[in-house]
Amino acid sequence: MSQRPDHRLSIIVTGRVQGVGYRFFSKENARVFGITGWVRNCANGNVELEAQGKKALLDQFCKVLKKGPLFGQVSELLSREIEIIRNENAFKIHY
């Protein structure tokens, strides 16, 4: 990212979000919006993310996450602000 991030979100996504490419979808859109952080599947069927960047770009990223990939169906996206991680420079899929 060329600019310093000013927000970091912890995000939980519920619905049909596993087995539909949601993690890859998240990573690709993070690249588009210049977002750093990570995404992983949860044992309960949800997807969990941490996303960091400029607030306006995070807002756009979250709108895209709410839509989800073609074969997914997002029921709810819950987010809360958390502490920024300095010097983070990528968005990763955790397995």
Are 38 and 91 a contacting pair, CB within 8 Å? yes
44 assigned to active site: no
**Matching residue, tokens 């995000």:** 11
Choice among 4, 16, 41, 89 that is catalytic: 41
Choice among 4, 8, 23, 46 that is catalytic: 23
**How far is the C-alpha of 2 from the C-alpha of 53, rounded, in Å?**
10
DSSP 34: T
**How far is the C-alpha of 7 from the C-alpha of 58, rounded, in Å?**
8
87 assigned to active site: no
Task: Give catalytic residues, as residue numbers.
Answer: 23, 41
